[in-house]
A and B are shown apart, each in its own frame.
Chain A
Amino acid sequence: MAELRNREQEVFWFQRRVFIAAAVMLACFVLLAGRFAYLQVIKREHFAALAEANRIDVQPEVPNRGIITDRNGIVLVSNYSAYTLELNPQKIENIDATIDRLATLVDVTARDRRRFKRLLEEFRSAESLPLKSRLSDDEVARVAANRFQLPGVEIKARLFRQYPMGEVASHVIGYIGRINQKEKERIEEQGLAVEYKGSDYIGKSGIELSYEKELRGNSGAVEVEVDASRRVMRQLSRKPSIPGNNLQLSLDIRLQKIAEEAFGDKRGALIAIEPATGDILAFVSKPGYDPNLFVDGIDPQSWEALRDSPDKPMLNRPIQGTYPPGSTYKPFMALMAQELGIRTASQTISDPGFFRLGGGYWRDDKAGGHGLVNLPRSIAVSCDTYYYLLGAELDVDEWSKFMSQFGFGRKTGIDIEGELAGILPTREWKAKRFPKDPKLHVGDQVSLAIGQGFNTFTPLQLAFATATLANRGVAFKPHLVKRIQDVKTGEGRLTQPQPMYTIPLKANHLDAVKEGLQGVVLEGTAATVFKGAKYTSGGKTGTAQVFGLRGGEYVESQVSERLRDHAWYMAYAPLETPQIALAVFVENGGFGAKAAAPIARKVMDAFFDKSLLDAAMKTRADAKVSQ
């Protein structure tokens, strides 16, 4: 009995302990339920957002960059799709070893290695840098088969920029390159980060730079669902990229090519403009460079060669080279003299072969002088004395005011960057530039009147002035891009449909100058060069002194090549309704008639003869086949 009670007592104690345990367990379950309620109700939005961030990845869709063609639709810049071998420096411990390993699979040249090293130095934090582009199908297959041994190595299909013309028009077109830190900051500052998302490249010079906004297009975005290893499971949404606009240049690449060939090994510049529109038909800067070198990063050797060459191939001479205009300035002086009422066309002066003023003495180019000279003849024979007199009589500030209408001394506003203004001297300029000798002397004016001395202009400025003169004062802003074509709508718009302004000029004043310019070609300094031309033209030779040989005799053969005079030629044709106006500049070319005028002749001959133009393209095609 006692035992039974004891047993009952024991069961009672046991049950009490079970109840206590049950209470504790229930409390724990309440705790769990509370925790779940906290996570799933109170913090639901927070965790839902995190879950979405986990699974959704926004990948940029890089737009196609616009194509560039010449005025006739010949492709100058295109894109091609190619496989590239890319390395992620963040994921690779020993880059050299990886490249060595890759070299057993694909052809990695020493140049590829140097180029990659340079890229690596510049873009240390990049996640993908190209080692080699344009892999063959075999190479792609070999790398893909060995990928598991090559962490951080990827094959990517990318669009590449191609410049099929090579050096031809390189200073017009420019090139693209990888976006550097400075450009990245600028993009972010301008709030363009979204438009550039996923893009690695940006225009660096020429039209590629100045029309970056048109060419680049806008990046799109693809929202994808990814798993934990960032593998794409499916596409959720897509905002397509907007391709860049295509550009039609005003350039005629055939004429461009002929012009560049006409230079041979000479350094210099040539700009041909269609006067009635301001279209730049040819824009030569010699020597050029191959923009293809820059596309996936230039190798250090090539870069140093370009940078350090004494020929300065990276200098865009038509807009960045400033030189005294020499005698090509005379037609504009003659026009000004009439407009300011200082000379009439028929008024003559007597040229004894020199000019004396105060203590100064200036020789005419022709010993003994040209005798009696009127305005047209002063241009045709390039009589210096006529202009020495004019220079001494004119007010230099009035003078510069007139000349600036023709674009001298100010930027023309051409649609590529880096243009220099040159110097169109005024009293104020002289005082500022030479504080120790602030006065602009009459002697200075005498020199300026024949285009020597302080004044320096770009070849483009002379071409613009010539075109404006040919167009009887109606000035069009010179432009390289004629039409921008919207890829989506197919609609095009002209970049410069209207003239900028018209210079008020008297018709008879213009005609007198034009008569002089025609005289140059028919019987004057360029008569030999233009003998037998099938078109009428007007032109003017010029020679700009590089080295002041005051009083001394200039003997070309005795002066070192780099110190020789620069040769100029300005021209337009045909006389009645000019279709082409040009300026030719040959660096250290010597006399204008000898060095520059023949180039102008070749270009103008081709311009008026379609068969010559087409022949230029044929040689290119042949050259390509033979490659």
Chain B
Amino acid sequence: MIQVIWNKLTDHIDPILFALVTIITVLGLLVLYSAANETMSRVVSQSQKVVIAVIIMFVIANLSPSFIARFAIPMYIAGIILLLGVALGGEVIKGARRWLKLPLIGNIQPSEIMKLAVPLILAWYFDKHEGAISWKNFLVAGLLVAIPFALIVRQPDLGTALLVGACGFFILYLAGLDWRIMIGGAVVAALAFAGAWEFNLLHDYQKERVLTAFDPGRDSQDAGWHTIQAAIAIGSGGLVGKGWLAGTQTHLEFLPEKHTDFIVAVYGEEFGLIGALLLFALYILLIGRCMLIAMRAQSLFGRLIAGTLGLMFFTYTFVNVGMVAGLLPVVGVPLPFVSFGGTAMMTLFVAVGILMSVATHRKLVGS
């Protein structure tokens, strides 16, 4: 009897994926405890969100990929409507119109929905045209990415827009987009960026972020301050780190955004290079597992969505760590499963749920 219930519960859980996500999440809570100056309130709040997120993950994992695919269109359309709502009457916070105040639900950030809606609709779209994918399909798919991308850029939230755009691109890539078009697209994108820079289509703060990424000293009080203090935190951690709860940059408030976007600096300061390499290894294993699930998936939808989510995990991790370590401009990207924040946690665990669904519903499709 117990065995039956256990089986029922774990049937659609991918043990390796779950183990890796659990380890990273627990590690994240430990670092969060340190970043919160040894107070429990944030850890408790984050844990509650993780529990809810895991339940959602469990539910989604138990849905079949084909069933999940049905959500693609409504979710995408809802996301677009909400984005339009933001553009017309969103809340302005810190000079950007990103939030929408909805009755009963409260403040939501519609761009967050698009992080999953875009891969889902593309995966569904390509799956629908499986076997007869032509350049026209890629054109339609490109359009499906471009619309939310444009809306999010206008908010302005370049960081999220690029992430949404990246996810869209990953699907196009995995769906077999011609190399020549990709190279051509890259050239066009580079020119577009240069043009935007030259003709002041970018906001000043966006330019500033790009500039400070390459020279943190240019504005040590503001954007550069984050990067400099993060570098000091990481660098002073050395090979083995200052020890858990012993990071001075963290505990004396020199490190900004230490609970959220810059949490990896706390990690680097307290656990050193050895700890950092361990964390990177965990992410590599996690992403590797995702790619393996993608390769084993039996439907095109499963392959595309799993591969894209794996690449999305990678992108978040790389952009976040690269930004904190001073390799990339400062954009608001959280470290997956570690940064404090409920919304991102939900999105990530929904993604894990989808991955598990793809991984564990093989037989049903394959028979």
Residues of chain A at the chain B interface (Cβ within 8 Å): 3, 6, 10-11, 13-15, 17-18, 21-22, 25-26, 28-29, 31-33, 35-37, 39-41, 43-44, 46-48, 50-52, 54-55, 225-229, 233
For the complex with contacts A32-B280, A39-B268, 16 further pairs of A-B residues with Cβ separation under 8 Å are A10-B131, A10-B300, A11-B295, A13-B176, A21-B173, A28-B322, A33-B276, A36-B273, A39-B234, A40-B237, A47-B232, A50-B232, A50-B236, A54-B252, A228-B252, A229-B253
Residues of A within 8 A of B239 (CB): 40-41, 44
Does residue B223 face the partner (Cβ distance < 8 Å to A)? Answer: no
Selecting from B64-72, B114-122, B283-291, B346-354, the interface stretch reads B283-291
* B208-244 vs A, Cβ < 8 Å mask (1 yes, 0 no): 0000000000000000000001011111111100000
Chain A residue, CB-CB nearest to B173? A17
Could you tell me if A37 and B176 are in contact, using CB atoms closer than 8 angstroms? Answer: no
Does residue B321 face the partner (Cβ distance < 8 Å to A)? Answer: yes
Could you tell me if A228 and B254 are in contact, using CB atoms closer than 8 angstroms? Answer: yes
Known contacts A32-B325, A40-B234, A44-B236: A14-B174 contact under CB 8 Å: yes
Known contacts A14-B295, A21-B173: A36-B322 contact under CB 8 Å: no
A and B contact pairs by CB, cutoff 8 A, 19 listed: A18-B295, A21-B307, A22-B291, A29-B283, A36-B234, A36-B268, A40-B237, A40-B238, A40-B268, A41-B239, A44-B239, A47-B234, A47-B235, A51-B236, A52-B248, A55-B252, A225-B248, A228-B252, A228-B253
Instruction: Report how far A321 CA is from B96 CA in the complex, Å.
Output: 77
Interface centre among B131, B236, B248, B318 (most CB of A within 10 A): B236
Residues of B within 8 A of A29 (CB): 280, 283-284, 318
Instruction: Report how far A14 CA is from B248 CA in the complex, Å.
Output: 47
Residues of B within 8 A of A3 (CB): 131
Chain B residue, CB-CB nearest to A6? B131
Among candidates B170, B235, B253, B294, residue contacting A44 with C-beta atoms closer than 8 Å: B235
Among candidates A14, A21, A33, residue contacting B303 with C-beta atoms closer than 8 Å: A14
Instruction: Report how far A47 CA is from B254 CA in the complex, Å.
Output: 13
Could you tell me if B235 and A43 are in contact, using CB atoms closer than 8 angstroms? Answer: yes
Residues of B within 8 A of A11 (CB): 295, 303
Instruction: Report how far A434 CA is from B146 CA in the complex, Å.
Output: 102
How far does the Cβ of B174 sit from chain A's closest Cβ, in whole Å?
Answer: 6
Residues of A within 8 A of B303 (CB): 11, 14
Residues of B within 8 A of A233 (CB): 252
Among candidates B173, B176, B248, residue contacting A51 with C-beta atoms closer than 8 Å: B248
Known contacts A40-B273, A44-B235: A51-B295 contact under CB 8 Å: no
Could you tell me if A51 and B233 are in contact, using CB atoms closer than 8 angstroms? Answer: yes
Instruction: Report how far A51 CA is from B232 CA in the complex, Å.
Output: 6
Known contacts A40-B235, A44-B235, A51-B236: A22-B253 contact under CB 8 Å: no
Could you tell me if A17 and B176 are in contact, using CB atoms closer than 8 angstroms? Answer: yes
Does residue B138 face the partner (Cβ distance < 8 Å to A)? Answer: no
Residues of chain B at the chain A interface (Cβ within 8 Å): 131, 170, 173-174, 176, 229, 231-239, 248-249, 252-254, 268, 272-273, 276-277, 280, 283-284, 287-288, 291, 294-295, 300, 303, 307, 311, 314, 318, 321-322, 325-327
How far does the Cβ of B299 sit from chain A's closest Cβ, in whole Å?
Answer: 11
Residues of B within 8 A of A50 (CB): 232, 235-236
Instruction: Report how far A54 CA is from B249 CA in the complex, Å.
Output: 8
How far does the Cβ of A44 sit from chain B's closest Cβ, in whole Å?
Answer: 5
How far does the Cβ of B243 sit from chain A's closest Cβ, in whole Å?
Answer: 14
Could you tell me if B232 and A54 are in contact, using CB atoms closer than 8 angstroms? Answer: yes
How far does the Cβ of B145 sit from chain A's closest Cβ, in whole Å?
Answer: 18
Instruction: Report how far A233 CA is from B277 CA in the complex, Å.
Output: 32
The 9 closest A-B pairs by CB, nearest first: A47-B235, A51-B236, A227-B252, A228-B253, A39-B235, A40-B273, A48-B236, A47-B236, A44-B238
Instruction: Report how far A31 CA is from B236 CA in the complex, Å.
Output: 19
How far does the Cβ of A190 sit from chain B's closest Cβ, in whole Å?
Answer: 35
Known contacts A13-B176, A36-B273: A226-B238 contact under CB 8 Å: no
Residues of B within 8 A of A39 (CB): 231, 234-235, 268, 325
Could you tell me if B235 and A226 are in contact, using CB atoms closer than 8 angstroms? Answer: no
Instruction: Report how far A515 CA is from B345 CA in the complex, Å.
Output: 110
Known contacts A13-B176, A22-B291, A41-B238: A36-B276 contact under CB 8 Å: yes
Instruction: Report how far A227 CA is from B268 CA in the complex, Å.
Output: 19
Could you tell me if B311 and A41 are in contact, using CB atoms closer than 8 angstroms? Answer: no
Chain B residue, CB-CB nearest to A32? B321
Could you tell me if B318 and A28 are in contact, using CB atoms closer than 8 angstroms? Answer: yes
Residues of A within 8 A of B277 (CB): 33, 36
How far does the Cβ of B359 sit from chain A's closest Cβ, in whole Å?
Answer: 15
Known contacts A32-B327, A36-B276, A36-B325: A22-B288 contact under CB 8 Å: yes
Interface centre among A11, A226, A229 (most CB of B within 10 A): A11
Instruction: Report how far A37 CA is from B229 CA in the complex, Å.
Output: 17
Instruction: Report how far A6 CA is from B132 CA in the complex, Å.
Output: 11
Could you tell me if A40 and B284 are in contact, using CB atoms closer than 8 angstroms? Answer: no
Instruction: Report how far A10 CA is from B299 CA in the complex, Å.
Output: 11
Could you tell me if A35 and B232 are in contact, using CB atoms closer than 8 angstroms? Answer: no
Residues of B within 8 A of A44 (CB): 235-236, 238-239
Residues of B within 8 A of A33 (CB): 276-277, 280
Residues of A within 8 A of B318 (CB): 25, 28-29, 32
Could you tell me if A17 and B174 are in contact, using CB atoms closer than 8 angstroms? Answer: yes
Instruction: Report how far A226 CA is from B235 CA in the complex, Å.
Output: 20
Instruction: Report how far A54 CA is from B327 CA in the complex, Å.
Output: 23
How far does the Cβ of A159 sit from chain B's closest Cβ, in whole Å?
Answer: 31
Residues of A within 8 A of B295 (CB): 11, 14-15, 18
Could you tell me if A26 and B280 are in contact, using CB atoms closer than 8 angstroms? Answer: no
Could you tell me if A40 and B272 are in contact, using CB atoms closer than 8 angstroms? Answer: yes
Instruction: Report how far A31 CA is from B254 CA in the complex, Å.
Output: 26
Residues of B within 8 A of A46 (CB): 235
Interface centre among A3, A31, A44 (most CB of B within 10 A): A44
Interface centre among A15, A33, A43, A50 (most CB of B within 10 A): A50
Residues of B within 8 A of A229 (CB): 253
Chain A residue, CB-CB nearest to B281? A29
Residues of B within 8 A of A225 (CB): 248, 252
Could you tell me if A18 and B174 are in contact, using CB atoms closer than 8 angstroms? Answer: yes
How far does the Cβ of A89 sit from chain B's closest Cβ, in whole Å?
Answer: 21
Instruction: Report how far A39 CA is from B234 CA in the complex, Å.
Output: 7
How far does the Cβ of B336 sit from chain A's closest Cβ, in whole Å?
Answer: 14
How far does the Cβ of B68 sit from chain A's closest Cβ, in whole Å?
Answer: 19
Residues of A within 8 A of B237 (CB): 40
Could you tell me if B322 and A32 are in contact, using CB atoms closer than 8 angstroms? Answer: yes
How far does the Cβ of B339 sit from chain A's closest Cβ, in whole Å?
Answer: 16
Could you tell me if A227 and B326 are in contact, using CB atoms closer than 8 angstroms? Answer: no
How far does the Cβ of A323 sit from chain B's closest Cβ, in whole Å?
Answer: 65
Residues of B within 8 A of A21 (CB): 170, 173-174, 291, 307, 311
Instruction: Report how far A39 CA is from B280 CA in the complex, Å.
Output: 16
